[in-house]
């Protein structure tokens, strides 16, 4: 057996051609957006936003006390399914790459993993805003239909600033889902994680506040839900805004930073 170096092999003339242009970010953005819609599960997740809004509106008109329904009633009923669906979209945008192992192809076509994650983040936030606008539109339609049935003038009692706060609250929910997705890189784990943070922790925090006076006074600095939920129906004080920023940093910023670091360095198999 002989083992000689391959360098001795005469090489065929290499094809000479121009170096391709770098992939523009716009293209990564477009592809990542497409990937959110192009599977049955992805499509129906997106469609569920419109469907849930429509169902919530119809239920409100049929079962609500029509005389007292205002735009705010519709916003509230459309908003609650939204606050569940949107964070799941945030989670899955990241985790599906690992759960379905598409990361292998994604990161060989775009080796800059940070660019892919940024594109996903921008798309998630965009989907959040568009979904909220759709919800607003469906809710407004419900309000008009209701007014037509009762014969009263429709009541438009949501200020632009209130709507902006609700959008912010939902975007923060999506960011939390996105950050947990980066951290766990597994769809079931990240979704469970999200609901633990969102549904289990408030109960624990409440129980703690009932027995611990210090926690009752200061929970706002640690409990993201407490301040985030305020966004849905009240005007925040300066201190509450600060608390929102601090808790967002702890609950969203920190897992995001750790998750991003893991994604950038981890081995993709």
Provide the token pair at 164.
């902006």
Helix (H) or strand (E) holding 141: helix 113-150
Distance of CA 165 to CAs 5, 48, 158, 245, Å? 67, 23, 11, 14
**Cα dist. 121→166, 179, 253 in Å?**
19, 10, 13
Task: For residues 128 and 140, give the distance between their C-alpha atoms in angstroms, rounded to a whole number.
Answer: 18
- By beta-carbon proximity to another protein, the closer residue of 30 and 217 is 30
Handedness of CA 65, 66, 70, 76 (dihedral sign): positive
Q: Which is nearer to another protein, 20 or 151 (CB)?
A: 20
- The count of residues interacting with another protein (CB under 8 A) is 46
Distance CA 25, CA 19 (A): 18
Q: Which one of the spans 95-103, 120-128, 187-195, 247-255 is the region binding another protein (CB under 8 A)?
A: 95-103
Residue 266 Cβ, how far from another protein at the closest point, in Å? 9
Footprint of another protein on residues 42-81 (CB under 8 A)?
42
Shortest separation between residue 238's beta carbon and another protein, angstroms: 45
Which among 35, 22, 47 is positioned nearest to 123, based on CA atoms?
35
Q: Quick check: 216 binds another protein (CB under 8 A)?
A: no
C-beta of 261: minimal distance to another protein in Å?
13
Q: Any contact of residue 112 with another protein (CB under 8 A)?
A: yes
Residue pair 116/95 in contact (Cβ under 8 Å)? The answer is: no
Find the part of the chain contacting another protein (CB under 8 A) among 48-56, 94-102, 187-195, 203-211: 94-102
Report the site for another protein in 1-40 (rule: CB under 8 A).
1-7, 9, 11-15, 17, 19-23, 27-28, 30-31, 34-35, 38-40
261 in contact with another protein (CB under 8 A):
no
Nearer to another protein, 28 or 219 (CB): 28
Of 47, 109, 245, 258, the one binding another protein (CB under 8 A) is 109
Q: How far apart are CA 50 and CA 197, in angstroms?
A: 26
Interaction between residue 168 and another protein (CB under 8 A): no
Upper half-sphere CA count for residue 231 (Cβ side, 13 Å): 23
Q: How far is the CB of 12 from another protein (least distance, A)?
A: 2
The DSSP string of 146-159 is HHHHH-SPPP----
Positions in the binding site for another protein (CB under 8 A): 1-7, 9, 11-15, 17, 19-23, 27-28, 30-31, 34-35, 38-42, 96, 100-102, 104-105, 107-112, 265, 267-269
């Amino acid at each position: 057996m002989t083992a000689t170096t391959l360098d001795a092999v005469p090489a065929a003339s290499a094809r000479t051609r121009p170096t391709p242009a770098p992939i523009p970010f716009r293209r990564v953005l477009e592809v990542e957006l497409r990937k959110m819609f192009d599977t049955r599960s992805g499509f129906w997740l997106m469609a569920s936003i419109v469907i849930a809004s429509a169902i919530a509106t119809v239920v409100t008109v049929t079962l609500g006390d029509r005389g007292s329904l205002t735009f705010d009633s519709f916003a509230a009923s459309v908003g609650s399914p939204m606050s569940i669906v949107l964070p799941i979209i945030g989670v899955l945008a990241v985790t599906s790459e690992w759960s379905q192992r598409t990361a292998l192809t994604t990161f060989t076509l775009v080796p800059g993993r940070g660019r892919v994650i940024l594109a996903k983040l921008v798309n998630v936030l965009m989907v959040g805003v568009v979904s909220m606008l759709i919800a607003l539109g469906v809710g407004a339609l419900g309000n008009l239909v209701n007014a037509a049935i009762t014969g009263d003038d429709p009541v438009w009692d949501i200020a632009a600033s209130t709507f902006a706060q609700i959008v912010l609250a939902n975007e923060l929910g999506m960011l939390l889902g996105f950050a947990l997705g980066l951290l766990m890189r597994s769809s079931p784990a990240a979704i469970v994680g999200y609901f633990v943070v969102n549904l289990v922790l408030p109960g624990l925090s409440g129980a703690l506040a009932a027995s611990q006076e210090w926690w009752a006074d200061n929970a706002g600095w640690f409990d993201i839900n407490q301040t985030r939920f305020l966004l849905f129906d009240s005007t925040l004080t300066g201190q509450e805004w600060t608390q929102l920023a601090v808790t967002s940093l702890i609950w969203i910023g920190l897992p995001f930073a750790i998750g991003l670091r893991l994604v950038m360095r981890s081995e993709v198999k």
